[in-house]
Amino acid sequence: MHIKLSILISIIICLIYIVSDVVAMPIGAPDLSKCQPSLAANCCLINSRSIVDFKLPSTGALRVRPAAHLVTKEYILKYANATRLMRSLPLNHPWNFMQQANVHCAYCEGIYNLSNFPNMTLEVHSSWLFIPFHRMYLYFHEKILGKLIGDESFALPFWNWDSPEGMGIPTMYTDPNSSLFDNTRAQNHQPPNILNYGSTNEGNNNISSQIEANLEVMYRQMVSSAKTAELLLGGPYRAGGDEPWSPGTVEMAPHPYVHMWTGIDMSSFVTAGWDPIFYSHHSNVDRMWEVWKTLLGNNSTGVNYINDTDWLDSSFLFWDENLQLVRIKIRDVLDTTKLGYVYQQVPIPWSNKTAAKLRDGEEMSSLRLVELPVVLDSAVKINVELPKMKMKMNMEEVLVVDGIEFDARMHVGFDVFVGGLRTSKIGFAGRFEHLAVKKWRKDVAMGGLLMKKRLVLGLKDLVKELKLERGELLVVTLMPSHGTGMLIKVGSVRVDLSS
């Protein structure tokens, strides 16, 4: 009897381990033979019977990705010629420009299920997949462009929108006779107009204050709210996992606003890749990961990095410059120098706290104090207690805005400000923003798509700047920047301590 009982217990323990493995595993590359097309566009990827595993390129001279506003005329001609050749390829060729654009649509619109968890759709936004996936995407796009013009040294430009000199649309993309042009770009956002992704400055035509507001957003999103890799890159997304969508700060701002501001094609996951400026935009998003590593001493082996194998072993499929369908893992793309490229060194004007100042919160003093959950049909305030527990050196204080619900077809967003009861000063803590999903899989009901997300922002610097104490009430203001009246619902707000 005892022997049978021990055997039964052993079986149960084994089953527990098996189930644990099922619900926590890396994202598996999709089965390209099983595509469920979007109603908005057929962006199924070209399939192949054979798949090869990615191998790092042999060492050689590093390609240097240049700032788009600093490139030479010779570079522009070379880039435009490569894109023209890509556009001229047969439509069914994996290198064809539209096939390249389909890659973004395919991985960002849920048309594939995971190969290792077929009941779960694949989506690379709003999680720790966002930055490494787009790095892979640009890597192969860049190599194909270089192959088409016979220049292995060719490197994509980066739209340097985080610096005042690069905040406008780079002029190389404004020539209507160039293959780099897209006729759906917003006419009122052409040079010399510059981005305004600081919503606290909306409607202000003063360029200097517009730049200042932009730099504040950059500092909060990239430095004070992003002290750990998971804060920067986003929360876990595992095959079979049930974690909520939790985008990182670098994805939240100014990334989606640049998409919306640029024009119609760029404002949708389905069509973003149709505009050549998409690749320059995401080249700068990729550069943000590299810049972040140097700002706080973050590196690929330090404590501020993600060492979770469910992240490192997540994989995707891309056509490479040798016309092979390649399986590549996140662990393959952690170091750009091993991939053969680096970024041109340019000033980083937002890298220290002078780029973000506390402000007078008097204008927000009359806002209604609400209980949660709440619909953000206007700006609201919530009181949240700071943890009484004293933080250790390696701990990070984080603000968690949870249960954010909205119709995924809408472009919605809100800014987060924090203050205290003993001070009239407030600080910008970060932003939540969602780019509208315009596609519907044919097997999904058309009545709407309720999406739930979580926003997590580092608070340690702001708490210190505001001189708040343990156990004190934090006053959190949520101010809609997009989607007012679109029924953005917030379920809870709290402050956690994380290591």
Looking at residue 354, its pLDDT comes to 79
| CA atoms of 447 and 398, how far apart (whole Å) | 35
| CA atoms of 254 and 404, how far apart (whole Å) | 19
pLDDT tens digit sequence for 478-488: 998 765 556 78
Looking at residue 273, its pLDDT comes to 95
Q: Which of 225-239, 299-313, 402-416 has the lowest mean pLDDT?
A: 299-313
Q: In degrees rounded to 5, what are phi and psi of residue 75?
A: -65, -45
Question: Any residues with CB less than 8 A from the CB of 473 and at least 6 apart, and which?
Answer: 383, 384, 385, 386, 420, 421
Looking at residue 244, its pLDDT comes to 86
User: Peptide bond preceding 373: is omega within 30 degrees of 0, i.e. cis?
Assistant: yes
Model confidence at 146: pLDDT above 90: yes
Mean pLDDT for 252-278 is 93
CATH architecture for residues 21-353: Orthogonal Bundle (1.10)
The percent of residues above 70 in pLDDT, for the chain, comes to: 86
Question: Any residues with CB less than 8 A from the CB of 3 and at least 6 apart, and which?
Answer: none
| CA atoms of 248 and 433, how far apart (whole Å) | 11
Model confidence at 298: pLDDT above 60: no
Looking at residue 282, its pLDDT comes to 98
Higher pLDDT, 111 or 176: 176
Q: Which of 52-66, 93-107, 289-303 has the lowest mean pLDDT?
A: 289-303
Tell me, yes or no, if the pTM score tops 0.75: yes
Confidence of residue 410 (pLDDT cuts 50, 70, 90): confident
Most confident region among 217-226, 253-262, 279-288 by mean pLDDT: 279-288
pLDDT tens digit sequence for 310-360: 999 999 999 999 999 999 999 999 999 999 999 999 999 999 887 788 888
138: tokens are: 């640009």
pLDDT tens digit sequence for 94-119: 999 999 999 999 998 788 888 888 88
Nearest to 283 by CA among 294, 274, 291: 291
Looking at residue 40, its pLDDT comes to 57
Residues with a catalytic annotation lie at 104, 125, 134, 255, 259, 269, 282
User: Peptide bond preceding 236: is omega within 30 degrees of 0, i.e. cis?
Assistant: no
| CA atoms of 283 and 300, how far apart (whole Å) | 20
Looking at residue 392, its pLDDT comes to 64
| CA atoms of 31 and 117, how far apart (whole Å) | 11
Model confidence at 195: pLDDT above 60: yes
Mean pLDDT for 428-433 is 91
How many residues are there in the chain? 499
Q: Which of 144-148, 221-225, 416-420, 447-451 has the lowest mean pLDDT?
A: 447-451
Confidence of residue 4 (pLDDT cuts 50, 70, 90): low
Looking at residue 204, its pLDDT comes to 52
Q: Domain map of the chain by residue range?
A: 21-353, 358-498
Looking at residue 60, its pLDDT comes to 83
| CA atoms of 194 and 214, how far apart (whole Å) | 10
User: Is residue 117 helix, strand or coil?
Assistant: strand
CATH architecture for residues 358-498: Sandwich (2.60)
Mean pLDDT for 139-157 is 98
Mean pLDDT for 14-43 is 69
Looking at residue 303, its pLDDT comes to 43
The residue type of 318 is F
Phi-psi region for residue 254, left (φ > 0), alpha (ψ -120 to 50) or beta? alpha
Looking at residue 39, its pLDDT comes to 58
pLDDT tens digit sequence for 437-494: 765 444 443 345 778 999 999 998 899 999 988 888 999 999 987 655 567 899 999 9
Looking at residue 127, its pLDDT comes to 94
Model confidence at 169: pLDDT above 50: yes
Higher pLDDT, 134 or 210: 134
Q: What is the mean pLDDT of the chain?
A: 86
The percent of residues above 90 in pLDDT, for the chain, comes to: 61
User: Is residue 152 helix, strand or coil?
Assistant: coil
Q: How many CA atoms lie within 13 A of 8 on its CB side?
A: 5
Confidence of residue 50 (pLDDT cuts 50, 70, 90): very high
